[in-house]
Amino acid sequence: MGQNHTLLIGAVAYDPKVIPIWDIIREYYRKHDFALDYVLFSNYEAQVDALLEGFIDIAWNTNVAYVRIQRRLEGKAKALAMRDTDIGFTSKIIARTDSGIESLADLKGKRLALGSADSGQAAILPYHYVKTSGIDPEKDLTLLRFDLDVGKHGDTGTSELEVVRALREGEADAGAVGDSTWIRLLEQGQVDTREIRAVWTSPDYSHCNFTALPSLDDALAERFRELLFAMDPADPDIRNMMEMEGLNEWVKAEGAGLDGYRVLFDAMADQGL
């Protein structure tokens, strides 16, 4: 319908399922006469550059990538939409039950395991929250960092599994993981809460979003969003995609959803990231 430009979306290939996810999304848009294609990147830094250079129109970004783009564009990038599950995301501090750790204050003098250095949920934000609670992570704690899959911003979850493993094997007393990983491990029975328990939950923050340059055509962006929000989970393909991508519905990036990125701006500035 008068669209003479194929909207190009960038996503990071952190798992083989990323391909069927985006094939389904592309097919859905094509069915609605909206020309859309996608490009996969091996890491978020390359995707950030591609968006800034205008090679892609929209980037499916982690919160860390979003913050980097906003800093480069002085806050002018547009956040178009996010998953319902991207809002109210939290990190958990988990601890061995025999460590005596019941709160953040108890971490003093203990060994804390962190996930990948570029993971918002498993490293950057937990570090920030511990620090703002009055503990100096560099002096008061022994940090164990598991920098796996750097460039994927924690998407693969492998570093969080390493954190849990380190606790289980007694290498660390406490660790940081995202709540979705933690709940999945509990649901699957991979953690015994008699051995390891979540002792602290961070305030809510936001996770991923669709980020666009300020120059993206408003009408095009609006049509992209309309179709996104109109996806019907009763459609077996859409349902399949939503399960793989971990959402129940797409929502606008506004209000609490947007406010949820503020803490990460502070954390990254403080940590020089």
Question: Could you say which residues in the range 83-102 bind another protein, by CB under 8 A?
Answer: 84-85, 88-90, 92
Q: Which is nearer to another protein, 33 or 192 (CB)?
A: 192
| Residues 125-164 as x/- pattern, contact with another protein by CB under 8 A | ----------------------------------------
* The two three-digit tokens of residue 213, written as one number: 């340059």
Question: Could you say which residues in the range 230-249 bind another protein, by CB under 8 A?
Answer: 234, 236, 239, 248
111: enclosing H helix or E strand: strand 111-114
CA angle 122, 15, 178 (to 5 degrees): 20
Least Cβ distance, residue 141 to another protein (angstroms): 22
Rounded Cα distance, 169 and 111, in Å: 13
- Please list, in sequence order, all residues whose beta carbon lies within 8 angstroms of the beta carbon of residue 136, skipping any fewer than 6 positions away: none
Q: Which is nearer to another protein, 117 or 191 (CB)?
A: 191
Amino acid letter, residue 237: D
Rounded Cα distance, 88 and 76, in Å: 23
* The two three-digit tokens of residue 226, written as one number: 């309309």
Q: How many residues bind another protein (CB under 8 A)?
A: 25
Q: Which is nearer to another protein, 88 or 137 (CB)?
A: 88
Question: Could you say which residues in the range 173-212 bind another protein, by CB under 8 A?
Answer: 179-180, 182-183, 186-189, 191-194, 197-198, 201
95: enclosing H helix or E strand: strand 91-96
Contact set with another protein (CB under 8 A): 84-85, 88-90, 92, 179-180, 182-183, 186-189, 191-194, 197-198, 201, 234, 236, 239, 248
